[in-house]
Structure 1
Amino acid sequence: MESTHLFEFILFLLVIILGLEVLAKRVNLPPAVALIAGGIALAVMPGVPDFELDPDLVLVLFLPPLLMEGAFFTAWTEFRRQLPGILALAVGAVFFTTLAVGLAVHWAVPALPWAACFALGAVVSPPDAVAARAILERLPLPRRLMVELQGESLLDDATGLTLLRFAVTAGLTGGFNATHAGGTFMFLALGGMAVGGVLGLLWVRLVPLLGDVSTAIAATFALSWVSYIAGEAVHVSGVLSTVTAGLVLGWYQHEMFSAALRVRAVACWRVMVFILESFVFILIGLTMRAIAEHLGSVENAVSTYLLPVSVVLVAMIASRFIWIFTADLIRAGLYRVFGWKGGRFSFANATVMSWAGMRGVVTIAVALALPEEMPGRALIVISAFASICATVIVQGTTIGWLIRRLKPHDEHAESSRSHLSRAEAATLVARAQIDAIETPGEKNALQTPDRHRVAQFIQRLHVLQAYSETPDEHDFADREAEHEAVLAAIGAGRQEVLRLHRSGQIPEHLLYTLEHQLDLQELAADTERF
């Protein structure tokens, strides 16, 4: 496809995406489901040009910024607190699913080499960060479950891709060394985190020096691709490099970034992520043409692929249920044995977590990227596509109903409300200590936040009226002093919120909420300044 026609086709897809987003909202359907279905419809529609999905380009272009955005907004304190559960999903569940699917496929297709069976298991084992966020962000999940699912989606791709690398090597060479594989896995993981940590710290120091907000935002986008490509270039995990860089940037941005940079960067990233996610899902649907080539006739598809693909889907979904229920029961038993608070087993929580394993772009991209000479490649590609359709379309459309029906238990609901009340109260106290602005005819007008806003607007009205009558004589010295006092008050509130967070008294999601409110107040004060 020529470059001009490619651009026109991308623009055409963007228009289709916007229409499908509107349609999904009208019929109360997850947008990811509508986009995949729309992509499949385009793939079988006559007249739509052929579009060959480059799997390597997909991974480099789409995956890094989506991982970066997820890591940037990850609640680091809660992430660290739930790290055992996250690793149990991101590493343990992926290993277990790879093993279970590999055994099941070898049972269904005995002629398929073991390495190819486990390669298929590695392809379908990791739930996808894009699919998980697209489906779950609109659902009322308990905080612990959301943190664990988000953390799993950030880290499990590294596990799945590493296992796939070992399986492909074994399938092509016929050799496998478990000790060497274990050492390589640790090197890839630790090396990726080291590269991402160094780049993240460098970027944190660099971004404030850029001065211009637009340039700084562009630098944060660049970090996502630089960290991924740098990790892959030195033969470590690009996924973990990107995630680590995003975590570092997210931790330090409260201290290093200005209010204008934070607010505008969030807005820019939201738009970029929306576009990338939408293209990811519609491109997944468009791969239906490539899948159809592997399937051949309907008779061949049914006779050759129906049984093994069905076995893959059953093993993939069942293994996640088995792993999560077993892990939660063991966790509850340990809490009871050691007398720790909380940690009791919840059937609702375990069921929702088990049903939330949506697959996405990484699954289909790595399947299409397999060498042509890989045994069982056609089955792997078809199974990858089927796993995405089954999890996103079936699980994605039913998980909301499941959550409403089971009402999973939120262990930290009450503490979150008390944290918010304490943080808001402390912030108001900190601001009130220096936010005593004198307005015309009234001393110490700040008795409540609402009264303070009214007093500010009254003063601005007086200033505007005085300036319109005598523009040459009006002095803005008092107005400038008021502006400085407002900024000082907002700064005091921000420092208090950050102190509460750093001391462990409030979690990240409350820090983001309160900080965003203060940032908006600072931007409003700058905008209304005369």
Structure 2
Amino acid sequence: MPIVQALLALIAACIGFALLARRARLPYAVVLVLGGMVLAFIPGAPKVELDPDLALAFFLPPLLMASAYRTDWRAFTGNIRPILFLALGAVLFTAVCVALAALMVIPWLPFSAAIALGAIVAPPDAVAAGAVLHRLRLPKGIVAVLEGESLINDASALVLYRLAVAATLASAYSWAEAGFTFIALAIGGAMIGWLLGRGAILAIRRLEDTLLETAMSFIACFASYFAAEFVHVSGVIAVVVTGLVLGRAQHALSARTRREARVVWQFIEFVLNSLVFILIGLQLNEILGRMDHYGVWQLASCALVVSAALIVSRFIWVFPASLTPRLVPALARFGSARPWSHTVIIAWCGMRGVVSLAAALALPVTFPERDLIVFLAFCAILATLVMQGTTLEWLIKRLGVEEKRKPGMGIDEATARTLIAHAALREMERRAEDVLSGAMAQDLLPEYRDRVRLLDGISQGPIVAERTARLEHRLHALRAARARLLRHRAEDGVEEELMNRLTEELDLEELRLRRLLGATDA
């Protein structure tokens, strides 16, 4: 029971900190970490230990799966060059830079152990940046690159981390062999992820039940991770590939499954993200308790050097890498060159999170300077979250990167809605010619023609104003219908099942109308 009570208390604290973050307009990851640190120093607060195996096996797969599932595949492949430059090149470059910086202040640390430290802190965590990125209207290219990077960088960093730990503990180790191992782990994980993803799709299509289909997506998530780890390949890459495969096939699922599964995954993602960051803050007492034999200034200097190297190395890598389409025109088709302001934002989105802390805590007990490495990893997480996380929104607005919301419907949305409306109208006109059912279809034709007329003139001011007015009339009528249904329930009584079905229909219609109104408002 104590574990249940502690879990419920942490979730309640997460809700409170999330509300505080919203009021303060700060990334909630920052507030959760700082809040966890405050809770850790409260007298009598329970000691919370974050088991590294639990963090990697329980928290990481669903978080990666959720990100991969909603990834825009066309945007991902269209920006594959900058994504790979960050997820592979920047991770390796950052790991080396951090290792060299660490050796400057900790000269007795073995080189392979320093590389392990670099691999631990190398992968940025997109969760902290996501709280800001999703609140602002950024160019799709920036969001696609950052989200794509977050899918792969954890895998590349953890593979490098595994190789560095093995090199540190082994008496002899070949880094050339490690390179081939790196490739084998990645390919093996991708193959397992693809196979399990395809198997999950076949199973889901035969279940024909929303709850079972949603549960199967969770089974596929963890199965791909554990299957890959069982055969000693990359479980992280396996989960990402499984998520991408399921995400591309989601349109073959029923409408109800897509809608309800999205809600379930959003809830799970919020709870896990919140718990992860508050648990990071709660680790502070335990970490500091093992650092008594180090001097305060020694710890401060080591933390400052490592954190500075971490932040600066990303800038050193990102800016030259952004020039490659201009220097090598053949690479432009894998991602075009970006304005310098976009490059600054991408370079500044370097907050670290759960993967870094879990990897540090997973170091063997006999690992050289294990406690110091764990402390430096925590400081890197804290420094990047507080400094970069709290200034990211200000920087975005200062550089003018945020896209202004234009009145009316976007070109892409208007084109897609027009195609849908014309297809529906053609089908209704075909049915109107039918001898038996033509009369009913004739009655519906004016409504479908009205939709086409409004969408065809979407760029015209008077048409947009008329469309907005019609949507508002429908929304008011919907509210009146809902109020009458509630009165009917109170006066005459309505079966709960029927009430739920009617309420769900009204809710879906209201969501559709509000989404359309959002597209037409200035």
Q: Distance in 1 between matches of 2:113 and 2:335?
A: 43
**Is 1:324 matched up with 2:325?**
no
| Partner AA of 1:318 in structure 2 | V
**Is 1:445 matched up with 2:434?**
no
Give 3-state SS (helix, strand or coil) of 1:448's partner: helix
Task: Verify the 8 A CA contact 2:30 2:128 in the aligned structure 1.
Answer: no
**Is 1:313 matched up with 2:315?**
no
Give 3-state SS (helix, strand or coil) of 2:71's partner: coil
Q: Distance in 1 between matches of 2:5 and 2:333?
A: 60
| Partner AA of 1:353 in structure 2 | I
**Is 1:74 matched up with 2:71?**
yes
Aligned residue in 2 for 1:291: 287
Per-residue CA shift, 1:107-149, capped at 9, x if unaligned? 2221111111111111111112433434432233211111111
Paired residue total? 457
Aligned-pair CA distance for 1:169: 1.2
**Is 1:434 matched up with 2:427?**
yes
**Is 1:217 matched up with 2:214?**
yes
CA 1:301/1:365 → structure 2, altered by over 3 Å: closer, same or farther?
farther
Mapping of 1:49-198 within 5 angstroms? Answer: 49-198=46-195
Aligned residue in 2 for 1:44: 41
CA 1:340/1:250 → structure 2, altered by over 3 Å: closer, same or farther?
closer
| Partner AA of 1:278 in structure 2 | S
Mapping of 1:225-244 within 5 angstroms? Answer: 225-244=222-241
CA 1:323/1:434 → structure 2, altered by over 3 Å: closer, same or farther?
same
Aligned-pair CA distance for 1:345: 4.7
CA 1:338/1:203 → structure 2, altered by over 3 Å: closer, same or farther?
closer
Percent identical among aligned pairs is: 40
Per-residue CA shift, 1:155-198, capped at 9, x if unaligned? 01111111111111111124231221111111110110100000
| Partner AA of 1:258 in structure 2 | S
Aligned-pair CA distance for 1:33: 1.1
Aligned residue in 2 for 1:476: none
Aligned-pair CA distance for 1:219: 1.0
CA 1:281/1:517 → structure 2, altered by over 3 Å: closer, same or farther?
farther
Consecutive unaligned residues of structure 1, counting only runs of 5 or more, are 469-515, 522-530
Task: Verify the 8 A CA contact 2:357 2:378 in the aligned structure 1.
Answer: yes
Q: 1:204 aligns with which of 173, 185, 201?
A: 201
Per-residue CA shift, 1:76-95, capped at 9, x if unaligned? 11111111111110000000
Task: Verify the 8 A CA contact 2:193 2:241 in the aligned structure 1.
Answer: yes
Task: Verify the 8 A CA contact 2:82 2:322 in the aligned structure 1.
Answer: no
**Is 1:302 matched up with 2:296?**
yes
| Partner AA of 1:136 in structure 2 | L
Q: Distance in 2 between matches of 1:188 and 1:112?
A: 27
Task: Verify the 8 A CA contact 2:225 2:239 in the aligned structure 1.
Answer: yes
Q: Distance in 2 between matches of 1:318 and 1:46?
A: 38
Aligned-pair CA distance for 1:424: 1.6
Mapping of 1:297-376 within 5 angstroms? Answer: 300-335=294-329, 343-376=336-369
Give 3-state SS (helix, strand or coil) of 1:110's partner: coil
Task: Verify the 8 A CA contact 1:67 1:129 in the aligned structure 2.
Answer: no
| Partner AA of 2:214 in structure 1 | I
Q: Distance in 1 between matches of 2:510 and 2:193?
A: 30
Give the stretch that moved more between structures: 122-131 or 47-56.
Answer: 122-131
Task: Verify the 8 A CA contact 2:112 2:167 in the aligned structure 1.
Answer: yes
| Partner AA of 1:444 in structure 2 | L
Task: Verify the 8 A CA contact 1:294 1:382 in the aligned structure 2.
Answer: no
Root-mean-square deviation (Å): 3.1
Aligned-pair CA distance for 1:443: 6.2
CA 1:150/1:367 → structure 2, altered by over 3 Å: closer, same or farther?
same
If the length of structure 2 is used for normalisation, what is the TM-score?
0.81
**Is 1:401 matched up with 2:402?**
no
CA 1:18/1:5 → structure 2, altered by over 3 Å: closer, same or farther?
same
Per-residue CA shift, 1:2-56, capped at 9, x if unaligned? xx11111111111111111111112222111111111111111111111111011
Task: Verify the 8 A CA contact 1:260 1:519 in the aligned structure 2.
Answer: no
Aligned residue in 1 for 2:374: 381
Q: Distance in 2 between matches of 1:340 and 1:57?
A: 41
Task: Verify the 8 A CA contact 1:158 1:239 in the aligned structure 2.
Answer: yes
| Partner AA of 2:29 in structure 1 | A
Q: Distance in 1 between matches of 2:332 and 2:361?
A: 49
